[in-house]
Homo-oligomer: A and B are copies of this chain.
Amino acid sequence: MAKFTRLSSEERRAQLIDVGLACLSEGGILHFTVDRICQRAGVSRGLVLHHFGSMAEMLAAVYARIYRDTVPDLGLLPPEARLEALLDGIFAPTAFSRDTLAAWLTLWGQVAVTPALQAEHQRQFRVYQAQVRDAIAAMAEARGRKVEADRLASSLVCLIDGLCLQRCMDPDVISAEAAKAACRDLLAPHLG
């Protein structure tokens, strides 16, 4: 019998990212270590840096992963449905759970002090911000309203982040429905 099984580079990276995410959720950045991740994944110490080069690079990969898992793709939806789909994705049970949010908070806390992570953040955030802006602009047009889509999108993004923050630090304070309602309330005066 084989002492270990070989996976393709993509498969192994995906598995390690999963484990890394779990470590972040449970213990923050201080638990995001080579030893812990490898032990939990059932592989040897050398494998993480073989696939990612450094822990900072792996952290950036985890950031890209959680971004894709959380922010839905809105491209194919009809204009009036995009905004609601965006909120449904972000405030879905898995994305808006304490575990996922704890990972988000940890990553945010590292963005400003980890160059590799900061670069990944800017890459991901640009796409996200554009999606939110377009969803708002599409809705405004569908309803025949003139809005400052940029400013409104910026406010909505901030509100969403803050809701995630508060939800993570005290889950009882804000439910997913209350979070969606707060977002709609922010937009209502401008979109009707």
A interface, CB within 8 angstroms of B: 26-31, 98, 101-102, 105-114, 118, 121-122, 125, 151, 154-155, 157-163, 165-166, 168-170, 173-174, 178, 182, 185-186, 188-189
Contact = CB atoms under 8 A, between A and B. Distances in A.
A158 B162 contact: yes
A-B pairs with lowest CB-CB distance, top 9? A109-B109, A158-B162, A162-B162, A161-B162, A28-B113, A189-B189, A102-B112, A106-B109, A105-B109
Contact of A29 (B28, B125, B157, B169): B28
Contacts of A185: 155
A155 B189 CA distance: 15
8 contacts: A28-B112, A28-B113, A102-B113, A157-B162, A158-B163, A159-B159, A165-B165, A188-B189
Q: How many protomers of this protein does the assembly include?
A: 2
A160 B158 CA distance: 8
A154 B170 contact: no
Nearest to A109: B109
Given A29-B28, A109-B29, A189-B189, A173 B155 contact: no
A110 B118 CA distance: 19
Contacts of A162: 157-163, 165
A188 B186 CA distance: 10
Contact of A112 (B98, B110, B112): B98
Contacts of A160: 162
A24 B40 CA distance: 29
Nearest to A165: B161
A54 to B, nearest CB: 14
Contacts of A173: 154
Contacts of A110: 28, 109
